[in-house]
Amino acid sequence: MAGKIPNDVIDDVRSQTNIVDVVGQYVQLKKSGNNLFGICPFHDEKTPSFSVSEEKQIFHCFSCGRGGNVFKFLMELEQISFPEAVTKVADFVGFSLAETYRPTQNVQESSEVTQFKQLYRQANELFTHILMSTEAGQPALDYLHERGLTDQLIETFSIGYLPDQADLMLSFFQNKEVPYQILRQSGLFIETQTGKLHDRFFRPSDVSDSECAR
- CA–CA gap between residue 26 and residue 20 (Å, rounded): 10
The size of the interface with Zn ion (CB under 5 A), counted in residues, is 5
123 vs 197 by CB, closer to Zn ion: 197
Q: Give the residue, chosen from 18, 31, 64, 121, that forms a contact with Zn ion under the rule CB under 5 A.
A: 64
> Cβ contacts of residue 138 below 8 Å, gap of 6+?
none
Quote the CA–CA distance of 94 and 80 in Å, as a whole number: 20
- 113 interacts with Zn ion by CB under 5 A: no
The DSSP H or E segment spanning 13 is helix 7-15
Helix (H) or strand (E) holding 91: helix 82-93
| Residue 169 binds Zn ion, judged by CB under 5 A | no
Smallest distance from the beta carbon of 34 to Zn ion, in angstroms? 19
Give residues with Cβ within 8 angstroms of 77, minimum separation 6: 26, 41, 42, 181
Considering the complex, state which of residue 24 and residue 163 has its C-beta at the smaller distance from Zn ion. 24
Q: Which stretch binds Zn ion (CB under 5 A): 9-17, 59-67, 88-96, 103-111?
A: 59-67
User: Residue 60 or 203: which CB sits closer to Zn ion?
Assistant: 60
If one asks whether residue 63 binds Zn ion (CB under 5 A), the answer comes out as yes
111 interacts with Zn ion by CB under 5 A: no
Q: Is 89 in the site for Zn ion (CB under 5 A)?
A: no
To the nearest 5 percent, what fractions of the chain are helix, strand and coil?
45, 10, 40
From the CB of 65, what's the least distance to Zn ion, in Å? 7
Q: With contact defined as beta carbons under 8 Å apart, do 27 and 63 qualify?
A: no
Stretch that binds Zn ion, among 33-41, 83-91, 137-145, 158-166 (CB under 5 A): 33-41
Residue of 22, 29, 39, 40 interacting with Zn ion (CB under 5 A) = 40
Minimal distance in Å, beta carbon 142 to Zn ion? 46
Sheet of 50-53, strand order: 30-32, 35-38, 50-53, 58-61, 67-68
Stretch that binds Zn ion, among 58-66, 83-91, 129-137, 171-179 (CB under 5 A): 58-66
Query: Which residues of this chain interact with Zn ion, rule CB under 5 A?
Result: 40, 42, 61, 63-64
